[in-house]
Chains A and B, each alone.
Chain A
Amino acid sequence: MSDALEQLLYLVAAVLFIVGLRRLGNPATARAGNMVSGLGMLLAIVVTLFDRAILSYTTIAAGILVGSVLGVWMARAVKMTSMPQMVALLNGLGGGASLLVSGAEFLRAELVGEQVPVDTGVTIQLGILIGAVTLTGSLIAYGKLEELITGRPITFRGQQALNALLFLAIVALSVYQLATPDPLLWPFYAVAALSLLIGVLLVLPIGGADMPVVISLLNSYSGIAAAMTGFVIGNSVLIISGALVGSSGIILSQIMSKAMNRSLTNVLFGAFGAQAGSTAKSSAGLAVQSVTPEDAALRLAYARRVIIVPGYGMAVAQSQHQVRELAELIERKGGEVKYAIHPVAGRMPGHMNVLLAEANVPYDRLYDMDEINDQFEEADVALVIGANDVVNPAARSDPSSPIYGMPILNVDKAKSVIVMKRSMASGFAGIENELFYDPKTSMLFGDAKKSLTQLVSEVKSV
């Protein structure tokens, strides 16, 4: 295959990615869009297999086979509730691949005694740095989401100074590497090792509830790492695709941090939620009213308008199917059910939407915060399932609260509120929620799945 033809076919692949991503933006065309994008990938891979530089196909065949089998198996086996972990892991592997390709390109040039031009050298170092940070950062995010390590921020004194120092060391080593004419290998390995370390250190201080931002950002890094690899091997399809992914991740992380009323810097370096129980307002002397499943079921059965507010607790209890069942029963009794989704509910952007889609809830019943916030006043019952900080009125009313200014769902405006919660433990931010002490709020304590199952059978018998 001639070089020109190869380049043109890569361009076709890039166009397929663009068309595919565009179609991913509409629920009706999204699935076909994903196929189009996949077709682009297939084309890019096939074109590459005809590259004249490729002499042996044994390693390639083995690698493709092992990777594809593992990938498809993971995609089939993963539970929808574990989707954030899955995406974190995939991000990490993408970053790892970029790290390996950049590294291999450097080693190849060193071994054959080829003089690496400075600009290629710079992109190699960048590819290694970003790829390594994506790899280890994603693995830490995975560990936090899978609860292999604590979801609370892990902080220590001088953490940011250490990160800055490590970063400076990486820059210094890279410059030294590029400036010395001798083929030196140790600075290369040192840069790789320090970059892997910095990835770990950057994600450790970020708390579980901030994961939607972190995953979006790592998604962006994996794209930028791919683009850097494109610079290294001089392939424009990598640069284009990498840039597309890079910008999509950045946009999502901006949307997420905006939904928390915090800057990206604050999310990344603020170690939010580090001091557990830093109560802005004391709950002393306030009483909550709990409600039995029977009474809650009665109120839901006779409600005309119900808004369901799912949160991470629904994902933890894996109770999305029971939620849908309950909603259908309420509708059969003549009520209307809508779902209110906060942008940062769950552990990744759109987490709740995927879970409810899995439970067969039509996507047009799911409303964004801006669409539904005015409708709470007319709701007879707002049913909060495992959500806390995103419904805390302190975000509107209490300037001393750490979450003050964060846009919230106006659950407190509903005529009555039922909150399903495990216990009175405070939410991720460690703040008391005055919604729970509101006279019109009833608490239904217990595991969300059990409570919902009870509610379903009670509503049935009303």
Chain B
Amino acid sequence: MTDALVTGIVIFTLATFLGVALIQRVPPTLHTPLMSGANAVSGITVVGALVVAGSGHGWISTVLGFLAIVFAMINVAGGYAVTDRMLGMFKKSPAAAPAESGTVRSDGAGRAA
């Protein structure tokens, strides 16, 4: 095994435990936005796609890279925007948050991405 692989495995393992610790605290009411938000993060593959598409290793790489960017960017832009749209709808009771009473839900257009 190369050093890079070992380092990768170390990072992967530690990040997995970190993820478990982070997610266990999330209340069920936020599970859907959590999932779409986490989903947007997995669009990070776009980083790899950009290098593949831009490094000019022949037309196959360019085509695959282009498709990969499109897929990943739908994932990223769609994921963040839809999460933002959902979270914009979550409101507390008017009694607990008087400032928000009577507010009409925004049209929900995503602002992120």
Q: Which residues of A contact B (CB under 8 A)?
A: 17-18, 20-22, 24-27, 30-31, 33-35, 37-38, 40-41, 44-45, 48-49, 51, 53-57, 59-60, 62-64, 66-68, 70-72, 74-76, 78, 80, 83, 86-87, 90-91, 93-94, 96-98, 100-101, 103-105, 107-108, 111-112, 117, 119, 123, 215-216, 219, 222-223, 225-227, 229-252, 255, 341, 343, 348-351, 353-354, 357-358, 360, 362-366, 368
Residue contact B12 to A24, C-beta cutoff 8 Å: no
Q: List 14 A-B contacts (CB under 8 A).
A: A17-B41, A41-B113, A60-B50, A74-B78, A97-B72, A97-B75, A103-B64, A104-B52, A226-B44, A231-B12, A247-B20, A348-B31, A350-B28, A360-B91
Residue contact A354 to B33, C-beta cutoff 8 Å: yes
User: How many B residues touch A, CB cutoff 8 Å?
Assistant: 94
- B 20-57 contacts with A by CB, 8 A: 20, 22-57
Q: Which residues of B contact A (CB under 8 A)?
A: 1-2, 4-5, 7-8, 11-13, 15-20, 22-58, 60-62, 64-94, 96, 105, 108-113
Query: In whole angstroms, what is the CA distance A216 to B89 when docked?
Result: 22
Query: In whole angstroms, what is the CA distance A90 to B66 when docked?
Result: 17
Residue contact A55 to B56, C-beta cutoff 8 Å: yes
Residue contact A90 to B34, C-beta cutoff 8 Å: no
Task: Write the chain A residue with the least CB distance to B39.
Answer: A90
Known: A56-B56, A96-B71, A364-B96. A62 touches B33 (CB 8 A): no
Residue contact B48 to A41, C-beta cutoff 8 Å: no
Query: In whole angstroms, what is the CA distance A126 to B50 when docked?
Result: 21
Residue contact A37 to B40, C-beta cutoff 8 Å: yes
Known: A55-B56, A78-B82. A350 touches B44 (CB 8 A): no
Residue contact B82 to A74, C-beta cutoff 8 Å: yes
Task: Write the chain A residue with the least CB distance to B26.
Answer: A25
Residue contact A41 to B80, C-beta cutoff 8 Å: yes
Contacts of A231 in B (CB 8 A): 5, 8, 12
